[in-house]
Structure 1
Amino acid sequence: MSKQLPSKDIVWHQSTITRQHREALNNHRSVILWFTGLSGAGKSTLAHATEERLSRMGCRTFVLDGDNVRHGLCADLGFSDQDRMENIRRVGELAKLFIEAGVIVLTAFISPFQADRTRMRSLVNEDDFLEIYCDCSLEVCEKRDVKGFYRRARLGKIKNFTGLSSSYESPVNPELRINTGELSLSASVDQVMELLKAHGII
């Protein structure tokens, strides 16, 4: 998808209150935690559980959830490859604004294409994007299937469903890979917290 350049009449207004000011007030660095994986892999569950742990520490956080974003910001998009790319582009730009606000932003999206995730990573500085791969087998994801998506996709009622009729490209070199099919939720959160500490976020 080609990127539309802003009009020459649009000029970036630099705030006098910087990201560093906001991070100092929050007493932690801001970062994008990009949770990716198949539907049912536990992305949203892990993102929200991590947010709860961070909140108890007094951290400023926000979760951008795939389903929630499609109720508003991306309500006009479908599930074709092109629409999926645009969905992730919008989320990436929104997440970038959150880290400028000094917030730890946790994004829970299938984001099936490596090129899209690489593009989102390129929007920010190297240490501002931590990719977390919720690695869970298709078999386990289908067994969970709390929303009934896999069953409906198998019946042909959902087209372009990732993992079945649409491909998922596993992360090549994520900052963290968690076996969410076997590891407990608490242990998974522990791994995310260790990642944040190792990168000097908290």
Structure 2
Amino acid sequence: MRPGGGTGPLSRFGWIMLGGIVVGAGGFLSMLSLGSGGRVPVVPSVPVPSSEGVAGRAAALTMPIAGYPVAALVHDWGDPRDGGARRHEGIDLAAPRGTPVVAALPGRLEKLFQSGRGGRTVYIRSFDRRWSLYYAHLQGYAPGLAEGQRVARGQVIAYVGDSGNAGAGNTHLHFAVSWMRAGDRWWQGEPVDPYPLLAGKAVTG
């Protein structure tokens, strides 16, 4: 290398290398901007799944009537009720009067309630408080059942009946599932079709 130089062979080689790097970087940036108005394209965020999507990935529930065959389930979610004034937000399981009804998941018994439409009812909240199960038209409750108590999966909680607006002799269990948000009370939540959760099928949005 020459004193005070910068024009020797090594210096020229360095300039050539630097020029190549600059050209290469410019070409890469221009490729990124193609078709985006000169801006680097932004990768879209992954959408948050709906509650039905979440429900579809949840573990299947235990059948709320022990031994009830999957083949006997009728997918009546969304069927018209009261002359079309409302939609059925649950599933009806036909069974003889007095058939034992069980907890479809472990949780806490949140409410025992008597209503004109549902008759004798039970609300069970999962331990993580994200799910609520609703049982209606019951003949009666299991002995010792009380609000606030813990219930195990498969524990007998009540018996099939025709209370409320079921109609005399129309003995069946109305079973409903709700996805609960933080702060939702026992009568709130977003209804979710229970049929896929009982039949072991994925929910489609």
Structure with more helix by fraction: 1
Structure with more strand by fraction: 2
Higher relative contact order (CA 8 A, sep 6+): 1
* Shorter-chain TM-score above 0.5: no
Interval containing the TM-score (normalised by the shorter chain): under 0.3
Length-normalised TM-score, structure 2: 0.22
Length-normalised TM-score, structure 1: 0.22
